[in-house]
Amino acid sequence: MTATGTERAAEPAAPVERLRALHRGGELARSFPAATDLLRRIPIAELDTVARLFGGLDADEVAEHHPATPAVRVDVCANGTAAELIPLLGAHLARSGMSMRAHSAPYTRDHTRVPWSEPPAEDEGPRLRLLLLDAHAVVEELAVPWDVAAVETALGDLLGRIEALAAAQRAAAGSTLVLNTLPLPARLVDQLVDIGSRTRLGIAWREFNTGLLRIAEAEPGTVAVDTAPILAETGPLYDDRLACYARVHLGTEFLSGYAREVAATVRALSGRARKALALDLDGTLWGGVLGEDGPEGIEVAGGSRGVAYQEFQRVLAQLGAQGVLLTVCSRNETEPVERALSDHPEMALRREDFVALAANRRPKPDNVAEIARLLGLGRDAFVFVDDTATEAGAMRDLLPEVGVVHVAGDPALHPRRLLEEAWFRTLETTEEDRTRRERYRGEARREELRQASGSTVDYLRHLGVEVELLRPAPEAVARLAQLTQRTNQFNLTTERLGADEVRDRLAAPDHWVVAVRSRDRFGEHGVVGAVFARREEDRLTVDNMLLSCRVFDRGIETACLRALLVEAREQGCTEVVGRYRPSPRNGRFAALYTDHGFTERNPGGTADGGAGTRVFAHRLTAAQGCGPDALPDHPDHIRLLSPSRG
* Phi, psi of 398, rounded to the nearest 5 degrees: -95, -30
How far apart (Å, rounded) are the C-alpha atoms in residues 646 and 4?
9
* Phi, psi of 543, rounded to the nearest 5 degrees: -70, -40
* Phi, psi of 472, rounded to the nearest 5 degrees: -65, 135
Binding mask 49-88 for another protein (x = CB under 8 A): ---xx-x-------------------------x-xx----
Quick check: 27 binds another protein (CB under 8 A)? no
Quick check: 109 binds another protein (CB under 8 A)? no
Nearest-approach distance from CB 258 to another protein, in angstroms: 17
Nearest-approach distance from CB 199 to another protein, in angstroms: 34
Q: Are 372 and 381 in contact (CB under 8 A)?
A: yes
Picking from 466, 476, 530, the residue whose alpha carbon sits closest to that of residue 6 is 466
From the list 9, 167, 218, 246, which residue makes contact with another protein (rule: CB under 8 A)?
246
Q: Which stretch binds another protein (CB under 8 A): 5-13, 18-26, 135-143, 626-634?
A: 18-26
Helix (H, G, I), strand (E, B) or coil at 633: coil
Nearest-approach distance from CB 239 to another protein, in angstroms: 7
Quick check: 242 binds another protein (CB under 8 A)? yes
From the list 163, 239, 293, 600, which residue makes contact with another protein (rule: CB under 8 A)?
239
Nearest-approach distance from CB 23 to another protein, in angstroms: 6
Quick check: 245 binds another protein (CB under 8 A)? yes
Quick check: 113 binds another protein (CB under 8 A)? no
Closer CB to another protein, residue 48 or residue 421?
48
Q: What is the largest CA-CA distance in the chain?
A: 109
Q: Which residues pair with 511 in a beta bridge?
A: 534
Tell me the residue ranges of DSSP E strands in 428-585. Answer: 466-470, 490-491, 511-520, 523-536, 539-547, 575-580
Closer CB to another protein, residue 35 or residue 177?
35
Q: Which residues touch 235 (CB under 8 Å, ≥6 apart)?
A: 251, 253
From the list 79, 96, 176, 252, which residue makes contact with another protein (rule: CB under 8 A)?
252
Q: Which stretch binds another protein (CB under 8 A): 244-252, 335-343, 466-474, 578-586?
A: 244-252
Question: Distance of CA 194 to CAs 76, 144, 154, 187, Å?
Answer: 38, 17, 20, 15
Nearest-approach distance from CB 25 to another protein, in angstroms: 11
Which residues, numbered 285-304, are part of the site for another protein (CB under 8 A)?
Answer: none
Nearest-approach distance from CB 246 to another protein, in angstroms: 5
Q: Which residues touch 205 (CB under 8 Å, ≥6 apart)?
A: 151, 155, 182, 184
Q: Are 99 and 93 in contact (CB under 8 A)?
A: yes
Closer CB to another protein, residue 81 or residue 270?
81
Quick check: 106 binds another protein (CB under 8 A)? no
Nearest-approach distance from CB 253 to another protein, in angstroms: 11
Closer CB to another protein, residue 48 or residue 353?
48
Q: Which stretch binds another protein (CB under 8 A): 48-56, 208-216, 461-469, 573-581?
A: 48-56
Q: Which stretch binds another protein (CB under 8 A): 235-243, 376-384, 530-538, 610-618?
A: 235-243
* Phi, psi of 425, rounded to the nearest 5 degrees: -60, 125
Nearest-approach distance from CB 228 to another protein, in angstroms: 25
Number of residues this chain uses to bind another protein (CB under 8 A): 16
Binding mask 190-229 for another protein (x = CB under 8 A): ----------------------------------------
Closer CB to another protein, residue 84 or residue 567?
84
Binding mask 371-390 for another protein (x = CB under 8 A): --------------------
Quick check: 14 binds another protein (CB under 8 A)? no
Closer CB to another protein, residue 248 or residue 266?
248
Closer CB to another protein, residue 238 or residue 382?
238
Closer CB to another protein, residue 82 or residue 404?
82
How far apart (Å, rounded) are the C-alpha atoms in residues 270 and 264?
10
Q: Which stretch binds another protein (CB under 8 A): 16-24, 319-327, 612-620, 627-635?
A: 16-24
Helix (H, G, I), strand (E, B) or coil at 75: strand
Q: Which stretch binds another protein (CB under 8 A): 20-28, 65-73, 414-422, 512-520?
A: 20-28
The helix, strand and coil proportions of the chain, stated in percent and rounded to the nearest 5, come to: 45, 20, 40
How far apart (Å, rounded) are the C-alpha atoms in residues 200 and 205?
8
Nearest-approach distance from CB 49 to another protein, in angstroms: 8
Nearest-approach distance from CB 241 to another protein, in angstroms: 4
47, amino acid identity: L
From the list 12, 13, 21, 24, which residue makes contact with another protein (rule: CB under 8 A)?
24
How far apart (Å, rounded) are the C-alpha atoms in residues 503 and 476?
10
How far apart (Å, rounded) are the C-alpha atoms in residues 560 and 492?
14
Q: Are 474 and 522 in contact (CB under 8 A)?
A: no
Specify the DSSP class assigned to residue 626.
B
Nearest-approach distance from CB 65 to another protein, in angstroms: 20
Burial class (CB in 10 A: 0-12, 13-18, 19+), 9: exposed
Burial class (CB in 10 A: 0-12, 13-18, 19+), 119: middle
From the list 248, 276, 329, 465, which residue makes contact with another protein (rule: CB under 8 A)?
248
Q: Are 476 and 527 in contact (CB under 8 A)?
A: yes
Quick check: 139 binds another protein (CB under 8 A)? no
The string of DSSP codes covering 373-425 is HHHT--GGGEEEEES-HHHHHHHHHH-TTSEEEE--S-GGGHHHHHHTT-TT-
Closer CB to another protein, residue 95 or residue 517?
95
Quick check: 23 binds another protein (CB under 8 A)? yes
Calculate ∠ Cα 480-486-489, nearest 5°. 105
Picking from 386, 362, 336, the residue whose alpha carbon sits closest to that of residue 489 is 336
Residues in the chain: 646
Q: Which residues bind another protein (CB under 8 A)?
A: 20, 23-24, 52-53, 55, 81, 83-84, 239, 241-242, 245-246, 248, 252
